[in-house]
């Protein structure tokens, strides 16, 4: 991976983590992602992971019956 790609992705991850970036920094990141398919793909996967974990955070806990079933399956293995 090119050094420029590393730098852009590092800043992009800061944005994903909720860090505040200037509009100029966000534009630079977007331009790079538009021009660099490998970075866009890598960033896209990371973004999806963040969205999924954010969506799942705070949801209802796993039902006790399901926890018990999983535990028994693990003990059998």
Q: How many other C-beta atoms can be found within 10 angstroms of the C-beta atom of residue 12?
A: 24
> How large a percentage of the chain has pLDDT more than 90?
4
Q: What is the pLDDT of residue 60?
A: 64
Dump pLDDT digits (tens) for 52-65.
777 777 666 777 88
Predicted TM-score (pTM) of the model is 0.56
- Segment 28-51, tens digit of pLDDT: 988 998 899 888 888 887 787 777
Strands (E), the chain: none
**What does the block give as tokens for 76?**
């059998």
**How confident is the model at residue 59, as a pLDDT?**
64
């Amino acid at each position: 991976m090119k050094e420029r790609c590393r730098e852009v992705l590092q800043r992009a991850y800061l944005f994903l983590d909720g860090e505040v970036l200037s509009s100029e920094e966000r534009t630079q990141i977007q331009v790079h992602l538009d021009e660099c398919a490998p970075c866009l793909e890598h960033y896209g996967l990371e973004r999806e992971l963040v969205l999924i974990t954010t969506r799942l955070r705070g949801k209802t806990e796993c039902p006790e019956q399901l926890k018990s079933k999983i535990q028994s399956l693990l003990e059998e293995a």
